Amino acid sequence: MKTASSKTDIKAIFISLLAAIIFWVMNALNKDGYSQRMSFPLKFSYNDSLYIPTQPLPEKISVNVSGNGWNLLRKAFALDITPVKYSIEKPLKTRYLNTGSLADSLSEYIKDVKVNYVVADRFDLEFDRKVTKQFIVKVDSSSIPLKERYVISSLINVNPRTVSLEGPESVLEGMGSTIYVKIPGKRLQDNFDDEIKLPISQNSLIKPNKDRVAVSFEVSELLK
């Protein structure tokens, strides 16, 4: 059975050991020469009214840094880190992220540690001109599902007749000049009047000024 004295001795040993560990850690963190891989948020600066990236831009950059243990520890646990800015003056001619230039920018950004190198050799970048193009909207009349002996007996009304799409020039030019919409549903025998969603590619880079058009027409039965 342990006595009160032995319990006191164990507690004293534990406190002494804990104090020694804390002293060792603090002494170690005061030294220089530590290196660590760290990630920093990255923000691109370019004329987004004229150009658009056609592939996602990297949101973070990983770098190898070295310095004092305390400084590295503070950087590792920092919660509010201002993004590192990377300017692109000529987007159409910029094919990759210049890691050397970025390392220099990081050196100015984090002065209390030394930036050794960016972990990745390069990041590919791809931009295109941002343009707005008008498209004519038409109904694909050949695919309208009509019940047997029924026909379209009026003009097919589309409102609006044109829509504007904003996005990469190469993508919009490849879409031609007309957007065809199809009438959904089963075989029709009644007049049609409804809104139809435009069959625009699920490309997040393309932004339409309208995503639906109103379509109406009359349907009649052929006389026997």
Q: Label the pairing between strands 84-87 and 34-45.
A: parallel
CB 58 within 8 A of CB 42: yes
Is residue 143 packed enough to be buried (19+ CB in 10 Å), middle (13-18) or exposed (0-12)? Answer: exposed
- List, in sequence order, every residue forming a beta bridge with 195; answer none if it has no partner: 214
- The C-alpha angle with vertex 53 and arms to 47 and 57, in degrees rounded to 5, equals 105
Q: What would the two tokens of residue 201 be?
A: 């590619």
Check residue 223 and give its pLDDT: 77
Q: Pick out the chain residues at pLDDT < 70.
A: 1-35, 67-80, 107-114, 120-122, 224
Check residue 102 and give its pLDDT: 78
pTM of this structure: 0.69
Write the pLDDT tens digit of every residue in 195-221: 999 988 777 889 999 989 999 999 998
Write the pLDDT tens digit of every residue in 89-115: 999 999 888 877 777 777 666 666 667
Element (H, E) at 179: strand 178-181
Q: What would the two tokens of residue 167 be?
A: 């996005």
Conformation bin of residue 33: beta by default, left when phi > 0, alpha when psi is -120 to 50: left
Check residue 22 and give its pLDDT: 46
Query: How far is 65 from 53, CA to CA, in rounded Å?
Result: 30
